[in-house]
Each structure stands twice: as structure tokens, then as C-alpha cells.
Chains A and B, each alone.
Chain A
């Protein structure tokens, strides 16, 4: 069964450094999302992406964050200058089309900012 994959599984970085989290969506899926879960809290929406542009972003997704699909397969989340409070699990999710609501999640990247 096709799966969403994410790399790396863990990332430790120093505050102020840039990180890039990568996701490979399920091949026929057209809609892409990033969510995050701070330890002990609920899963929160960050951004949705369709047709090579952002569809919606949350207030968490400020100017330090960006997304792109550089090569038509990978979907990346970049955090330009990490802060301590960016430490969380980051999940990529994808869905096939606009009238299907079910999103399928990757295994996540655990980001720790020191």
C-alpha cells in the first residue's frame, strides 16, 4: 500500500540554524499539508499546498517558514531560523483530490532545537 514518507526521522539543530524537512507524497496525490505536534499537545495545521502554491496557512506559519515542491516529487518545509519553540514532531499529509477529504500522514520528523 502506498505511503507518505518523510526524512529525516530525527533532526537536532542549534537555534538560529536553517532546517529542511522532506516529504515524498503518495504518487497520485495532489494536495499536500504540513502539521506539527508539540509534545503533549494536539496536532496543529501549518500549511496546505496545491498546484504549486500555498492554499492556506495558519498563524504559526510565519515568515520563517516556507514550502516548495522543487522537483515534482518531494514536498519540503523549510524553517529559516529555528527557535526553541519550533521543537516538535512535523507531519506531512497528502490527499488525492479536492472532493476527497481523507488525508494520509507520514511518520513524522522529530525536530529538536537546542
Chain B
């Protein structure tokens, strides 16, 4: 049961351009969403999050958009840099005390020169 889906396994973007990573979810109980960046053989690193009471959250080059009616969120990276090359995971939770994260399958972003 894939409650969180990232349908693009990979994405290649030129340096300086915008990277858009997408994520869909099926569980309408999810009300908090996070993006993590992961390098091989390392743990996920938190990037940015958004609560379901918002539709946009921005932090520097990273912006997350949430469309609750479509059960869709996206991460925009502008401008993309070579150091952004990594696997990006979308995660969702039902907010509460010890709420677990449900992860998508990840999108491998490659930023080319």
C-alpha cells in the first residue's frame, strides 16, 4: 500500500535552472509533509516541511507547495546547484505525539553543469 508516491525515479536539471520534484499521497489523514535529502550511505537530512494549514513554505532556495485537494506536493529548488545532486524523499505524517513518517520511494536529482 503505497500511501506516498514519487512517480519520477530520476530528474536531470542544468545548474541554475529550477528543479521541481513531485509527490502524491493517498491518505487524507496526513497533515504534515516533509522533504529529506539523502546522499548514498548517509542518513536522510531534513530540508523543509509544510503543515496542511498552509499551501506554501519557503526557505532560501527551497519552496514546498501543497495542494490538498489534489493530494499533491512539490519541492522547488531555485537555482539548482551541483551540490543539490542527491536522492530526495517526500515523507508524510499524521501529526500527533509519536507520529511515524511514511516515505515515498525517492527521486534522484542530478544537477549538471
Q: Of the candidates A55, A58, A105, A108, which one forms a contact with B97 in the assembled complex, judged by CB atoms under 8 Å apart?
A: A55
Contact A102 B95 (CB under 8 A): no
**Which residues of the partner chain B approach A110 to less than 8 Å between Cβ atoms?**
41
CB of A65 within 8 A of chain B?
no
Shortest B34–chain A CB gap in Å is 6
A105 partner, pick from B44, B96, B99, B104, beta carbons under 8 A: B44
Q: Chain A, interface size: which category? A: 20 to 34
C-alpha gap A89/B40 in the complex (Å): 11
| Chain B residues near A41 (CB-CB < 8 A) | 105
Contact with B along A69-105 (1 / 0, CB 8 A): 0000000000000000000010101000011011111
B104 touches A56 (CB 8 A): no
**Cβ 8 A contact of A91, one of B44, B99, B100:** B44
Whether, in the assembled complex, B29 has its beta carbon less than 8 Å from a beta carbon of chain A, the answer is no
B contact face: mostly helix, strand, loop, or mixed:
loop
Binary per-residue interface labels of chain A (29-51) against chain B in the complex, 1 for a CB within 8 Å, 0 otherwise: 00101010000011111001110
Bound Cα distance from A105 to B47, whole angstroms: 12
A113 within 8 A of B: no
- Using an 8 Å CB-CB cutoff, how does the interface string of B77-109 with A read, 1 for contact, 0 for none? 000000000000101010111111111111000
Given A42-B106, A102-B49, A107-B42 in contact, is the A56-B98 Cβ separation under 8 Å? Answer: yes
Is the C-beta of A112 less than 8 angstroms from some C-beta in chain B?
no
Q: How far is the CA of A64 from the CA of B46 in the complex (A)?
A: 30
Complex A-B, nearest 8 residue pairs according to Cβ-Cβ distance, in ascending order:
A55-B98, A105-B43, A98-B97, A48-B98, A43-B103, A45-B100, A101-B32, A42-B105
